[in-house]
Structure 1
């Protein structure tokens, strides 16, 4: 009988087994008796219990016994401990009544904020929002005591408009004054106006600077705005000629207010105290409220800074010609006296009255062009020439110091726009830059004592401290030269 073919898979397994037995023959020879499935021949029993088999059987029995003890113990440990139930007492509690929420949430109002530009009128602002002059009239009619604010708008001021879906005016908000906001509503049955108070506070600021180029450059470096520089110069203009007297190394210290509204910066306030050192000469200014409620600035000796006369009747110009007994006239070509001071300035620059007085002459004068003479008292008068045009004052009208009496020009014998200014005593011209001006009267006794104790003493201490700190910082930053 032909031998049947062997299954290829079985043959492959047998081949792998024979190969493993050949490679690990030493292991199989040493541990062959560990097998429980050894084939035996003859009359031998199928299994012979050697020492190794007894050890395997004992290990299996031990694992079985331990499992019977450990598993129930673990299950008992994980079982939660039964606790006695805690008794609770329920007390009635009255709850507050809660109103059901409204299904309608209030709509957010969309206010348009508009800032006034230079040259704009209130009518222009309303028309820019698509509103008519009748809308403006309704607002004015319902503004009440806030009407004045609508007639005196200024650049930068804000107006808030509430416009309806159909383009109709429903409300307007604006500043009645610095600390009050006016709100006019036109969307109800009848127009209404109410006011809201705003929190306004002042904070003091301090600036110190040294002039190494110009006053404006030094002040801006110290953190002062151009407007505050004008205020500083305006305080000391009676004693310092800011056109000619400033020198490199001059210094200033300013204590001034800043105004905040609702926590935000609003504007600069007034100068509280100031010190200016010009060519080694020290000048001071302190703000003080007089007994009549008016506010003024005074020097340390209690005299008003505002003198009887201004040194310079125009703002920040340059001197084009000084007072001289003999000068070559630029047009006539002749040597003749120049009995005044010429201040060059752009055409149209305002000219101010140097002091209180009465206009004695206003008209054309040969050589002077448009000419004004102001009589201040029985002895002193001032004269102003080459004006481009006059202001509104007339002959015989009383003017106060600082009033605008005309504008810079080049009428008459002039080669360029400037002011020719004369200071006359008993009809004789004196040099406006060097003439001795009368001193104003100091504060009366009781006010002087209050001024010294409340104003000068604390502010002087602050100015001195600032000056000393600056000198110390400057000394520490200056490198020492080797001896």
Structure 2
């Protein structure tokens, strides 16, 4: 049989196999009639496998996932805000388009400001020659504001000065206009408003911080702690966070801005259930603070005329460290470093200030009513002279070791009608209260402050039950003032 015969047989055999396959029930139907909606178990298994593979690929490769989410756009809100209209002078580049406000910093002078702004020394000289300019511009305090009118340049500086504004005092502003060699000045009055206010608050964590927060100045706070209440309140140990204070001051306002705060006119300080009060009054031209009934808050004498000193020798008989024999020690000794300031124990007149034998450099003060004090062994004497009247706390000298002394210390003596007394144990004389016309004037002047404080204290204690008894004394003092 040839090759053609074998090929024919092979074709016949394949045809027979194809016919046999077509006559199988399922496959034959699929190939001839199409899918009829029913899958075999094998087809279901294959379909499940394919679906699983598609899901795995979509999870591993995000780009294959048809459900990849895009971030939602963030909503934005636009608001139209009106801008201030541009001045006509600014649009045309005329004078007045570039006023620069400069706040003086510590150490700055008008010359340094002119240099900083690129202005010539010749212009500075011409400005300082104007009437009243030297008095106002020679010593500029930190925080002072000056305004310069200059043409716009790179960096905002450079060019010729066209105008200068500064405050001559609280109520007046000077405006200079420069045009070539001509300078014209215009004085602008700035009215102020003075108000008497009561500033009140709680001590909280810090008296200084709380007082500053309600509007008191550092000087006001020092007045409370050092002048009014230092004899009655220990601000280190006696003050709690819940304690309150109320202070009457005068505030000066100008064009809605607080310009200055005056001295404390009256004050109250509540520690626990005790209310302390103090009122300012000028006695013989000197400001002092008094209780509501006219008694001075300041004590006549301070027991230690030297701060932070150590007592080394008391009053009485002792063996003299230099002479070596028993001798009456007519004062007390305080050891301190050379140069430590020594204060006057009370208001006084200087009797003597100079060398005094074994006392070395010494000062004697006459406090009136028979009371005198002596301060010895000073390294040098302060700026005082014989016959001068000085206030309590004035520095009269400095600790030293002059005269009969073995080391730097202060020898302090207290005498009554010439008799030496122990300054550590003697009962100090009370200060002189206000009497007669002075007391009547005090009550009249403090009536407004008394009323204001009483009102504030009544509000403070309105929700806390009865107010301290001292509040009633305020009303009583005011009532007595009317009778006087």
Deviation at 1:300, TM superposition (A): 0.8
Alpha-carbon distance in 1 for matches of 2:217, 2:325: 46
Counterpart of 1:401?
391
Counterpart of 1:73?
none
**Are the structure 2 counterparts of residues 222 and 194 from structure 1 closer, same or farther at C-alpha, using a change threshold of 3 Å?**
closer
Residue in structure 2 matching 1:375, options 356, 366, 381: 366
Q: Does the CA-based 8 Å contact 1:308-1:356 persist in structure 2?
A: no
Alpha-carbon distance in 2 for matches of 1:147, 1:181: 15
Matched, 1:462 2:456: yes
Alpha-carbon distance in 2 for matches of 1:349, 1:132: 48
Q: How does 1:270-309 map to 2 (within 5 A)?
A: 270-276=263-269, 283-287=276-280, 297-303=289-295, 305=297
Q: Does the CA-based 8 Å contact 1:364-1:371 persist in structure 2?
A: yes
| Count, aligned residues | 366
Counterpart of 1:431?
423
Alpha-carbon distance in 1 for matches of 2:176, 2:197: 35
Alpha-carbon distance in 1 for matches of 2:453, 2:325: 55
Q: Deviations over 1:168-216 (max 9, x none)?
A: 444332221223222233336532222333353446352344599x865
Residue in structure 2 matching 1:149, options 136, 147, 151: 136
**Are the structure 2 counterparts of residues 162 and 361 from structure 1 closer, same or farther at C-alpha, using a change threshold of 3 Å?**
same
Q: Does the CA-based 8 Å contact 2:163-2:175 persist in structure 1?
A: yes
Task: Give the SS at the match of 1:230.
Answer: helix
Counterpart of 1:52?
none
**Are the structure 2 counterparts of residues 318 and 139 from structure 1 closer, same or farther at C-alpha, using a change threshold of 3 Å?**
same
Alpha-carbon distance in 2 for matches of 1:338, 1:264: 59
Residue in structure 1 matching 2:164, options 156, 172, 181: 172
Residue in structure 1 matching 2:354, options 358, 362, 365: 362
**Are the structure 2 counterparts of residues 176 and 439 from structure 1 closer, same or farther at C-alpha, using a change threshold of 3 Å?**
same
Matched, 1:207 2:215: no
Residue in structure 1 matching 2:444, options 431, 443, 450: 450
Q: Deviations over 1:373-427 (max 9, x none)?
A: 3233372223445666544333x241331584446555556988x8766543234
Task: Give the SS at the match of 1:392.
Answer: coil
Q: Does the CA-based 8 Å contact 1:273-1:287 persist in structure 2?
A: yes
**Are the structure 2 counterparts of residues 390 and 183 from structure 1 closer, same or farther at C-alpha, using a change threshold of 3 Å?**
farther
Task: Give the SS at the match of 1:139.
Answer: helix
Q: Does the CA-based 8 Å contact 2:198-2:248 persist in structure 1?
A: yes
Counterpart of 1:233?
225
Alpha-carbon distance in 1 for matches of 2:117, 2:379: 41
Deviation at 1:343, TM superposition (A): 9.6
Which of these two proteins has the greater Rg computed from alpha carbons?
1
The answer for unaligned runs of 5 or more in structure 2 is: 1-87, 468-484
Task: Give the SS at the match of 1:372.
Answer: strand
Q: How does 1:82-93 map to 2 (within 5 A)?
A: none
Deviation at 1:355, TM superposition (A): 1.0
Counterpart of 2:188?
196
CA RMSD of aligned residues (A): 5.2
Alpha-carbon distance in 2 for matches of 1:387, 1:406: 10
| TM-score of the pair, normalised by structure 2 | 0.56
Q: Does the CA-based 8 Å contact 2:281-2:442 persist in structure 1?
A: no
**Are the structure 2 counterparts of residues 238 and 203 from structure 1 closer, same or farther at C-alpha, using a change threshold of 3 Å?**
closer
**Are the structure 2 counterparts of residues 327 and 132 from structure 1 closer, same or farther at C-alpha, using a change threshold of 3 Å?**
farther
Alpha-carbon distance in 1 for matches of 2:465, 2:309: 33
Q: Does the CA-based 8 Å contact 2:315-2:332 persist in structure 1?
A: no
Task: Give the SS at the match of 2:456.
Answer: helix
Alpha-carbon distance in 2 for matches of 1:216, 1:227: 11
Task: Give the SS at the match of 1:447.
Answer: helix
Matched, 1:158 2:150: no
Deviation at 1:301, TM superposition (A): 1.3
Deviation at 1:119, TM superposition (A): 4.8
Counterpart of 1:182?
174
